[in-house]
Amino acid sequence: MKFIKLWIALVLGLTLTQVSRAEPNVQALLAASDRARAGGLPGLVWDVRATNTGSSVIDNEPSVLRLKAADNASLAEYLEPLRSKGSRILQVGRNMWFTKPGLRKPVAISPRQRLTGQAAIGDIAATNYAHDYKAKYLSEESFNGEPCYVLDLTSARDNTTYDRITYWITVRRHVGIHAEFFSVSGKRLKQADFVYDNKISVQGTAIPFISKMTITDALTDAETVLEYSEIKIEAVHRSEFDIANLQ
């Protein structure tokens, strides 16, 4: 009898170890992670401070921008440094325009263009990976001690910030904590780590919101840190995202 019980316990144990967690709904997972980076929210305002370090950095003066976002659009305005004050970047979908005081009309730009240091213009805009990328589940693994779903994201639209991303989204919190960015040829360009010490309330529910993004070059010691503060949930009028009002 003892032998039979032992045999049943052994078989059951082996069976349980072979059962893995069901693959996640990747689109729902991406949409949840986007909200923690201002994607798909009805109205949000925040400040981001960008600083650069590394042996090749010449100008390490920080930049400070104020961003307003709603749904699939965002508007960024430079507050610092003084030479850039008043410059604005408008994003509607994946289309972007830049203007500054004295410029006659807005100039179309790409989200891949450099904002500062290792940060592309698209890095500061509201994240909408669920719309912009096709996602494939790769595996489940731990990153910095936290269980994560690892997804492979390939660009599904023109004018995305990156061609391909490997993205680590936490199993419990549903936020992206690590990303590796690749060119279309598969070359790793840079990587990013994310911290979510901010909280916002959406429809009465508290959700994590990004507080820090650290972007590191794949080949050098160049690094850019984006710090997020002064986050407010508030309505943003659609006219804020009208290119006719950008000037």
What is residue 19's predicted lDDT score, i.e. its pLDDT? 41
What is residue 20's predicted lDDT score, i.e. its pLDDT? 52
Residue 12 included in any domain: no
Number of domains in the chain: 1
Distance CA 194, CA 175 (A): 9
Q: What share of the chain is helix, strand, coil (3-state, %, to 5)?
A: 20, 45, 35
- Give the domain CATH number at 91: 2.50.20.10
What is residue 148's predicted lDDT score, i.e. its pLDDT? 97
Each residue of 84-95: pLDDT tens digit? 999 999 999 878
For the cut 60, the answer to whether the pLDDT of residue 17 exceeds it is no
Residue 96 included in any domain: yes
The domain in which residue 187 lies consists of 28-245
Residue 9 included in any domain: no
Each residue of 189-229: pLDDT tens digit? 999 999 999 999 888 889 999 999 999 999 999 999 999 99
Residue 17 included in any domain: no
Residue 5 included in any domain: no
Average pLDDT on 185-189 reads 93
What is residue 187's predicted lDDT score, i.e. its pLDDT? 93
Residue 194 included in any domain: yes
For the cut 70, the answer to whether the pLDDT of residue 234 exceeds it is yes
Residue 150 included in any domain: yes
What is the share, in percent, of the chain residues with pLDDT greater than 90? Answer: 67
Residue 187 included in any domain: yes
Reference 65, options 45, 82, 47, 38; nearest CA is 47
What is residue 21's predicted lDDT score, i.e. its pLDDT? 61
Each residue of 64-80: pLDDT tens digit? 999 999 888 899 999 99
Each residue of 29-58: pLDDT tens digit? 999 999 999 888 889 999 999 999 998 877
The sign of the CA dihedral 184, 188, 190, 192 is: positive
Greatest extent of the chain over all pairs of C-alpha atoms, in Å: 89
